Amino acid sequence: MLHINDLTYRIGGRVLLDGATVAIPRGHKIGLIGRNGAGKSTLLRLITGELEADSGSINLRNGARVGTVAQQTPEGSQSPRDFVLAADVERTALLAEAEETTDPNRIAEVHTRLADIGAETAPARAAAILAGLGFDEEAQTRPLDTYSGGWRMRVALAATLFSAPDLLLLDEPSNHLDLETRLWLENHLVSYQGTIVLVSHDRNLLNTIVDTIVHLDDCKLTVYRGDYDWFEKERRERLALRAAEFAKQLEQRRHMQAFVDRFRYKASKARQAQSRLKALERMDELPPVRPDHEVAFDFPNPDQMAPPLIALDNASVGYAPGQPILARLGLTLDMDDRIALLGENGNGKTTLLRLLTGDLKPMSGSVRHSSKMRVGYFAQEQADAFDPTRTAKEELALRMPGATETKIRSHLGRFGLTQERADVKVASLSGGEKAKLLFACITRDAPHVLLLDEPTNHLDIDSRQALVGAISAYQGAVILVTHDLHLVELCADRLWVARNGTCQAFDGDIDDYRKTVLESRRAARRRDKGERPSGDNKKDRRDARRASASARTARASQRKAAAAAERRLETLGKEKAVVEAKLADPALYRGPPFEITMLNKQLADLDRKISAVEAEWLAAEEAIG
């Protein structure tokens, strides 16, 4: 399908691709990955012909149609459905010709071709794709100008998917999609019949869809057969092998050079020394192995606060008087909670976050929390509001009046904005670096609660993994709004779902929620077709739901118990390390003996506690299965 041969491309004197080569077979689904700024989006633009390479070639199969999502959002009075239908250029042209031509032979040819390409079913196919991306029947017929930029980007994506190109190029297609829509997109791409090149930092999307990873690193393209997890494993093994080979060659060169230095001027050994010197010159020097960069993410821990941190009692919230967006809210939040807030866009997730921050007041009911509670709120529009003429250090200094420069730089360093990057103006920071600056700003006072609204949109995979570690180590409460399933799976132990004008706890994990969403969409499609489930089927499904809900409740309880035990183990481990460090200090044994006795007693007590908590953790993990 696609052959890239010895491709070189430079921009502003910087080399992005240097002799890059890869062959992509027809029908394969490729995940194109690499660090931010490596040149992934640039490579897609080279494939489409928007950019021209300095050297090398890009060859497509003859007649292959290439599709990509336009960067320019669609606009005008046209409806989303009409815009999507127009993406099938051949069908549109044939329909127009069928209206105008008077030649009977040509009319027959046109109608035959329309039948061949399934023109009659096109409206239904377009409607199904739009529905999958969140447009109901009424929304599909409204003018494009009535939609926000994010929704119009969905229309552009729908048009590309509808045109069903032979080679589909997608650059972060799940960005700005809610989790429910992302699940639909995932299923659609899994069953897509053409070739896909997918640029994404979404680990779950890569694991679910692609069968091959192409890694853009050090200006080269390297192929790994398998999904992202397999790539990660194989890359570690390749790097370990290369490191071993480099170390072996380094030792070999050192040994040969030592012989030359020792004997090159000794007559009896001069010939052997010259031979080794020539061998050294002929030897291909292996490049050193560059370790993958470490990404810093470290949230400062807050002081402890009695539960609950926040309690909502029959609260309602909205913007217009008497018109609540969410009502009947009865939710509580504790220090050890890790909650994923789910629900389709427009169902009030951001409204609930603003209620929790205090930006919105309840219309009725109550929201109770301590006056000393601190909240850190991450939202992308905050990062977009940074002054582009200030440096990262200056932005944080504005929010930390009176703090020393050392303290400001140290806090930025928690998120990888070290000495050099701290002095870079915001206008020159990447999207990921702006997100890290925002993390630094919202955690400057060690908040008790972190509200994270799509925190991974501009983070690469390494940064996302570092964020998972930071959330796990953080000792406050976290509420996540994200389309990143990997983040939800590893971090959330409870789910809240916003829908039907309220928000409630969901009994189950993310896999249960995925099944619920997909079944709900299948049921909606059956209703649209006029199908009605039989009474027996209704009863069977009702019984199955009850049994499933009971099992989910048990698993959720055990999952929370396991997470709590894991956090207690971490705390006890730190306490034990402190006691062991004191016992290892020689100065201790020059002091009063009772201190040694007391510390040994503390150590024994900690060992007993650790054993008990480990038993709790193992029991909870076994119950989860």
Q: Tens digit of pLDDT for each residue in 269-287?
A: 666 767 767 776 776 666 6
Please list, residue by residue across 571-584, b when 16 or more beta carbons sit within 10 angstroms of its beta carbon and e when fewer do.
ebeebbeebeeeee
The model's pLDDT over 308-346, given as tens digits with 9 standing for 90+, comes to 899 999 999 998 887 899 999 999 999 989 999 998 888
Q: Which CATH class is domain 549-624?
A: mainly alpha
Topology given in CATH for the domain delimited by 2-231: Rossmann fold (3.40.50)
- The predicted model gives 104-113 an average pLDDT of 84
- Cα gap 144→86, rounded to integer Å: 14
The yes-or-no verdict on residue 65 having pLDDT over 80 is: yes
Tell me the backbone φ, ψ of residue 494, rounded to 5 degrees.
-140, 150
Question: What pLDDT, in 10s, does the model give residues 162-173?
Answer: 988 999 999 988
Span 611-625, average pLDDT = 73
Q: Quick one: average pLDDT of 497-514?
A: 88
Please state, in angstroms and rounded to a whole number, the distance separating the CA atoms of residues 456 and 583: 43
Between 266 and 477, the more confident residue is 477
> What rounded mean pLDDT belongs to the chain?
84
Q: What is the mean pLDDT of residues 385-412?
A: 91
Pairwise CA distance, residues 70 & 308, whole Å: 47
Q: Is the pLDDT of residue 549 over 60?
A: no
The answer on pLDDT for 214 being more than 60 is yes
- pLDDT at position 548, please? 59
Which residue carries 């698993």 as its tokens?
555
For residue 266, name the pLDDT band (cuts at 50, 70, 90): low
Q: E strand or H helix at 397, and its extent?
A: helix 392-399
Percentage of residues in the chain having pLDDT higher than 70: 87
Minimum mean pLDDT among 66-75, 199-208, 220-229: which range? 66-75
Confidence of residue 581 (pLDDT cuts 50, 70, 90): confident
Average pLDDT on 559-580 reads 81
d(CA 350, CA 362): 14
Residue 359: C-alpha distances to residues 91, 356, 511 (Å)? 50, 8, 33
Whether the per-residue pLDDT at 539 is higher than 80: the answer is no
Average pLDDT value for residue range 29-35 = 90
Distances (CA, A) of 386 to 296, 429, 441, 614: 21, 11, 11, 46
| Domain covering 310-530: architecture | 3-Layer(aba) Sandwich (3.40)
Contacts 24+ apart (CB under 8 A), 58-61: 58/2, 58/3, 58/4, 58/5, 58/7, 59/2, 59/3, 59/5, 60/1, 60/2, 60/167, 61/1, 61/2, 61/26, 61/166
User: What b-and-e string marks burial along 301-332, b requiring 16 or more CB atoms within 10 Å of the CB?
Assistant: ebeebeebbbbbeebbbbeeeeebbbbbbebe
Q: Report the pLDDT value the prediction gives residue 473, as an integer from 0 to 100.
A: 87
pLDDT of residue 161: 92
d(CA 205, CA 33): 12
Which pLDDT value is given to residue 547?
A: 58
Q: Is 264 exposed, middle or buried (0-12, 13-18, 19+ CB in 10 A)?
A: middle
Q: What is the pLDDT of residue 380?
A: 78
> Would you place residue 247 in the very low, low, confident or very high pLDDT band (cuts 50, 70, 90)?
confident
pTM above 0.85, yes or no: no
What integer pLDDT is reported at residue 366 of this predicted model?
Answer: 92
- pLDDT at site 385: 85
